Chains A and B, each alone.
Chain A
Amino acid sequence: MAESSGAQLQIKLVTKQSIYAVPDIPYSVPSEIVCAELNTLVNELLKDTVSGGSVEFDFLVSGELLRTPLVDHLSERQVSTEEVVLIEYVERFPAPEPTDCLEHDDWVSAAQSCGKWILSGSYDSTLHLWNRKGEHLLTIPGHTGAVKQVSWVDIGGEICSFVSASQDQTAMIWQWNQTSNSVECVHVLRGHERGLECLAVDPTHTYIATAGWDKVIKLWSTIDGLTDGESSPKKSKFDTKSSLMNFEGHKEAVSAVQWSEDGEMISASWDHTIKVWDAELGGIKKGALVKCTFTSHTEWVQTVRWSSNLEYHFISGSYDKQVKLWDTRSPKAPLFDLSGHQDKVLCCDWSNPEYIISGGADSSLRVFKSKIAFAA
């Protein structure tokens, strides 16, 4: 197929997606071959077996996506060109489509989608509830400072609960009755001495970790909150909880906290460290090591989120007005740039595999629909 202008390379094409399998024989291709040419080659081979249009593929050579001519890619990773090169191909991740833009009154600093609903928090200290169609369901006032992060806690059944962290030094646990579309604050988590920056709900939905400018990570329980919540009288001041445990160790403000698995918590701080905590014992477990750097953003990266169902994919939002979709196998360039924001991107979320949402300083929450190309 290729006009042999120079050296030839022996390649073998493999895939894990059985429907796109090709005969297991080596092919001889020019060494300068690029992704697009390989794509046509595979499509040519699959012409008989797969019906209906051509499929876009991405090619993995020695664990990384092929973005440069094959020979350059190999020499960069110091792989021998003498032997048969194994090339794995996967169906290309389809480009997300911008579907909606939800306008707010102020900067959108927090957002999380869950099932049919999208929860967002804004700098005007209100929370907003939206459904998938982009209809505004509720505006929830309550905080006195900018809302910094929101997270769903429990979505089973009629009554959903979620938690929000704000700069007013409190986090609040809310309950939302779907049918009556009413919201009430069941708990106020007081204890932080400075504004909050981040919160995280653990995978079992029983613990909330919050952290902020007072350098302390606090752990709270959600369980009794959910049971006691209904009995607490509405008029009285919000039921104030006290923290279960304090994790002190960071020397500067804690900017992010996440749960990795049961009982393990990871926090990032302005003191240039990432710490892994054992939530049960309350100690620092180990440090972290930089394995890979992804460079493409031109400004401060404010937010990153893993895909909830895909192994290699994640999104990042930055002050350069871009949300980028990354594949860990391609550290040099993102898969897609999701542009649309007019100002700094402050938050992003990909909890619902179908939707990538991002909020920014342009007071808008943008929703991108990501087609599920293949099962993870």
Chain B
Amino acid sequence: MVRAASKRKALAETRVKEAPKIESLKLSEKELENEEDLLGNIASSDDDSEDSDDYESSEEEQLGDEEEEEEEQSNEETGDSANSGGSDYESSDAGPSRELISEANEELPDNDKDEYESGDTSDEEDLRNTVGKIPMHWYDDYPLLGYDWDGKPILKPERRDELDNFLKRMEDPNFWRTIRDPSTGQDVILNEKDLALIKRLQERKIPNPDHEEYKPWVDWFSSKVMTTALRPIPESKKSFLPSRSEREKVSKMVHALKMGWRVPRAELEAQRAKEKEEGPKFFDLWSADGDDEMKRRGIIDHIPAPKRTLPGHAESYNPPAEYLFNERELELWHKQSETPWKRKWHFVPQKFPSLRAVPAYPRFVKERFLRCLDLYMAPRTRKNKLTIQAEDLLPELPDPKDLQPFPTAQSLIYTGHSDIVRTICPDPSGQFLVSGSDDCSIRVWEVSTGRCLKIIAAGAEVSSVAWNPSSHLSLLAVAAGKRLLICSPQVGSTEKLTATDELLAVPPEVDSTTVVPERVQTAVKWEQAEGKDWDDGHRVVVTHFKDLKQAVWHGRGDYLAVVVSEGLNRSVIVHQVSKRRSQIPFNKARGLVQAVQFHPVRPMLFVATQRSIRIYDLVKQQLVKKLMTGSAWISSMAVHPGKLVFLGK
């Protein structure tokens, strides 16, 4: 820019010197000036045009005239501007502008390209100025223009006077397009291309004539979704997968929306609009507390604080004489200091000549404080008494009539036993009933008719009978005296009976490796029934060290628990019939065991002592729960398949 300005200055000087002007040139000059303005505007965005150095230097050799230099300069500038201004074009446009310059310089013999391609050696004879890029007017006072490659001074060409110019104009048809290269002082004749370029610049067209200004626009980046990607690379798999972080963000937002922490913008705007419409809300600070307010504070049925009585005459600074205490009254007032509530007034009425003379009330702060304390401490809410009748708390009892599937009338009497019947147990199917009696026998009855089907002698008073719950076995456990008899009922399914007999006919071989603990050995003796006993129905006899109280089967029908009365720490014994084996599960006696029971489904053992029931888990071998019944004496127990335990006292 600076350079351009200096050039312009130099040009102006020359103009002043050369008074007579040729019209055509003048015209061109004028246009050039315009051009310069334009260039200045453009060039203001970029001052240096260094990148086009090589062109310049090559051009400078040929351009002699200052004017021509001017032209060239402007040309060069244009190229630059086109180049630099291309920053807002696309980079694709930079190409053409470069091209343009090279094209523009094509004809010039000093062009690098031309040098090598055409084999033109003219540049060797060329006067190449080596002074560099300096304002040429620095050499104005010297006879030389600079120095050539060999270091020889380039002399300024001789100045032609007006006449010479005129004559030349007359003679030389190319005069109008001859300019002087200021750096070499040589005359340069502009060729057609240069002229065309100048003309285009003057018309403010894009310098490249091949540039198609109105070529059809290809809308590459339209809003339309293309079927095929613009890029040849296939879409990555990632781009199809929903982003996890995005999803998290969205879910957070949705959650916030759901919880009401965040309000959608539309809703928020609607709210604001509504608020605006309704106008500002004010809180009535001075309104009395209504019921709603009290309720909000959690005070139900509020009792307002008592109002202070208004001051009477006695409180006056100038009370009537009758209110003033006489001596007796004052004495009384002082005497009642122990019992202040008996005083007539809680103060001594005083008389002052004027309001100004009234002193500060000494108890003011204390009384205020007490009043505030009273207001604060007293809840002033009515307490609600519970008005529930005791009868309402009792559950509604069902009508005893509705509680009947249980029998209400005697249906059958099973007659036959000659002594007390101690125990009964029904067959799992309900067809038979077994009963044990003090007449040392058990009887098997047909439930539906009361027919006694079998009598099995037990040998001692029978304390407990139990029918095996297994669906494959037909067995009875009979606790008679010290003996536990495992009997065949000899009724019911014949297949089951024979299967059971086969199972029990041969005692399992005693595994010599298993050591029976002495505790067990002394308590229990297993025997196989034979001969007459077998025919009677006895199958296996287990003799215990004390009398038996109870025998119960486990739900599977293999295990059998017995309670030994006065057995102390051996009062519960568990037998396994299939292996003829016994175990004593408890080492310590925890009270007198009254009854044991297996859970019908779960692996649990219920042991009832006189006052409590202990529930043991048979798998984990540990105490699960202890139930305290509160009853004086548990004598029997039944376990429901659910969770209930029934007790008999």
Contact = CB atoms under 8 A, between A and B. Distances in A.
Given A123-B451, A344-B449, A346-B449, A319 B411 contact: yes
A319 B412 contact: yes
Nearest to B453: A146
A169 interface: yes
Given A195-B492, A319-B412, A253 B429 contact: yes
A193 B411 contact: no
Nearest to A252: B430
Q: In the complex, which range does the number of interface residues on chain A fall in?
A: 20 to 34
A107 B494 CA distance: 22
Interface string B439-468: 000000000111100000000000000000
Nearest to A107: B451
Interface string B499-513: 000000000000000
Contacts of A109: 449
Given A253-B429, A270-B430, A194 B493 contact: yes
A214 B493 CA distance: 9
B527 interface: no
Given A169-B493, A193-B493, A194-B492, A344 B429 contact: no
Contacts of A346: 449
Contact of A344 (B450, B494, B495): B450
Contacts of B495: 193
Contact of A168 (B412, B450, B494): B494
Interface in A92-129: 107, 109, 123
A300 B412 contact: yes
A299 interface: yes
A147 B526 CA distance: 39
Chief secondary structure at chain A's binding surface: loop
Contacts of A146: 451
Contact of B494 (A169, A214, A270, A361): A169
A220 interface: no
A213 interface: yes
Q: In the complex, which range does the number of interface residues on chain B fall in?
A: 10 to 19
Interface string B473-511: 000000000000000000011110000000000000000
Contacts of A193: 493, 495
A299 to B, nearest CB: 6
Contacts of A255: 448
A253 B494 contact: no
Given A123-B451, A213-B431, A300 B492 contact: no
Contacts of B412: 299-300, 319
Interface in B99-123: none
A55 B246 CA distance: 105
B494 A213 contact: no
Contacts of A169: 493-494
Interface string A312-345: 0000000100000000000000000000000010
Question: Counting chain A CB atoms within 10 Å of each CB, which of B411, B412, B449, B495 scores highest?
Answer: B449
B312 to A, nearest CB: 87
A195 B431 contact: yes
A361 B449 contact: yes
B411 A299 contact: yes
A319 B412 CA distance: 8
Contacts of B411: 299-300, 319
Nearest to A298: B409
Interface string A362-373: 000000000000
Interface in B618-646: none
Question: Counting chain A CB atoms within 10 Å of each CB, which of B410, B411, B429, B495 scores highest?
Answer: B429
Nearest to A123: B451
A300 B447 CA distance: 12
B555 to A, nearest CB: 20
A194 B429 contact: yes
A168 B409 CA distance: 31
A109 B431 CA distance: 16
B449 A194 contact: no
Contacts of B493: 169, 193-195, 214
B449 to A, nearest CB: 7
A107 B446 CA distance: 13
A195 B410 CA distance: 26
A270 B431 CA distance: 10
A342 B410 CA distance: 18
Contacts of A168: 494
A255 B431 CA distance: 11
A201 B409 CA distance: 35
Contact of B431 (A123, A253, A361): A253
Contacts of B448: 255
B429 A213 contact: yes
A319 B415 CA distance: 14
Contacts of A194: 429, 431, 492-493
A195 B453 CA distance: 13
Interface string B415-449: 00000000000000111000000000000000011
A255 B450 CA distance: 16
B451 to A, nearest CB: 6
A195 B449 CA distance: 14
A54 to B, nearest CB: 42
Nearest to A214: B493
Interface string A250-265: 0011010000000000
A346 B451 CA distance: 11
B492 A253 contact: no
A172 B579 CA distance: 41
Contacts of A361: 449-451
Contacts of A123: 451
Contacts of B451: 107, 123, 146, 361
A270 B430 CA distance: 10
Nearest to B494: A169
B591 to A, nearest CB: 41
A155 to B, nearest CB: 29
B490 to A, nearest CB: 11
A146 B431 CA distance: 14
Nearest to B431: A213
A123 B450 CA distance: 12
Contacts of A302: 449
A299 B409 CA distance: 8
Interface in B20-71: none
A153 to B, nearest CB: 26
B449 A253 contact: no
A361 B451 CA distance: 9
A169 B409 CA distance: 32
Interface of B: 409-412, 429-431, 448-451, 492-495
The 6 residue pairs across chains A and B that have the minimum distance between CB atoms = A300-B411, A194-B493, A213-B431, A193-B493, A213-B429, A169-B494
Given A169-B494, A299-B412, A344-B449, 12 more contacts: A107-B451, A109-B449, A123-B451, A146-B451, A193-B495, A194-B493, A195-B493, A252-B430, A270-B430, A299-B411, A300-B411, A361-B451
18 contacts: A109-B449, A123-B451, A168-B494, A169-B494, A194-B429, A194-B431, A194-B492, A195-B431, A195-B493, A253-B429, A255-B448, A270-B430, A299-B409, A300-B412, A319-B412, A344-B449, A346-B449, A361-B449
